[in-house]
Amino acid sequence: MLVSRAIDKLGAKLPKGWLDLWRQVGILIAVDVIYELGRGIADTSRPEAIYNGQQVIDFERSVHSLFEPGLQAVFLPAQWTIDVANQLYLNAQFSIAIGFLVWLYIWRNEHYNFVRNMFVVAMCLALIGYIGFPTAPPRMFPGDGFVDTITKFSGVNHDSALAKIFINPYAAVPSMHCAFALMIGGSGFLVCRHWWSKAWWLFWPILIAWVVIVTGNHYWVDWILGWMVAGAAAVIASRLLARVRPEIWAFRPSRAREVEA
């Protein structure tokens, strides 16, 4: 009886009740399963991924923009900065994304469906790159000056079964760390009300771009492509999906009628 009352009381505080909450959880889980299965296909293409990774390095070298090893060299002597970067790379994408979606759903619910759709579109676009162009990350090319900071300084083996749950070794292009960071940062800037929170979310995509480079997990090309994926997802969510159901899928939904996603 007491448990039932507590559940009912908590459900009354949710924006749309328990049913909608579990619906949203189900949508996110289903999309993530499809996303992980798609990333897994890239994991079976090591020779092609190594070749493509070398192609990216050769391209950056040909346009005199292979700055990543030099940037790593600047921060490697400052061990604490590498430790921070490693922890952010390993933990921030999942924890910050989920935390932001939970916060958005509870306190800025009118924007939630748009951001959710944007995330889903970005993940679908990323799969095109992972399957069509599997790419080994820079940390697999020590001969070109890259350092695998996570293996060297954090004790996490990228090839372990546990690490592969969170890290796909050949899904470097595009960087979804950067894509998610830009989508979260842009959304946070638009929906937050205080100057300090807006400033933080503006800084967040830049911080994560630094993280993926300094840890040797992405090339600058991946970072830019990740931001392009985020931009394309925002355009598709606003110009296409939002027109289908403007009352719930627009960033600022129409109040003409109440319909649940």
> What is d(CA 99, CA 176) in angstroms, rounded to the nearest whole number?
17
pLDDT, tens digit (0-9, with 9 covering 90-100), for 115-171: 999 999 999 999 888 888 889 999 999 999 999 998 887 666 555 544 455 556 777
Supply the pTM of this predicted model.
0.89
What would you report as the CA-atom Rg of the chain, rounded to the nearest whole angstrom? Answer: 20
Domain boundaries, the chain: 14-249
241's CB contacts (< 8 A; 6+ apart) are 117, 121, 249
User: Lowest-pLDDT range, 20-24, 63-67, 161-165?
Assistant: 161-165
* Relative orientation angle of helices 220-236 and 195-214, to the nearest 10 degrees: 140
The conformational region for residue 187 under phi > 0 = left, psi -120 to 50 = alpha, else beta, is alpha
C-alpha to C-alpha distances, 126 to 10, 11, 35, 173, nearest whole angstrom: 37, 35, 9, 8
> What is d(CA 246, CA 82) in angstroms, rounded to the nearest whole number?
44
Strand partners, 135: 171
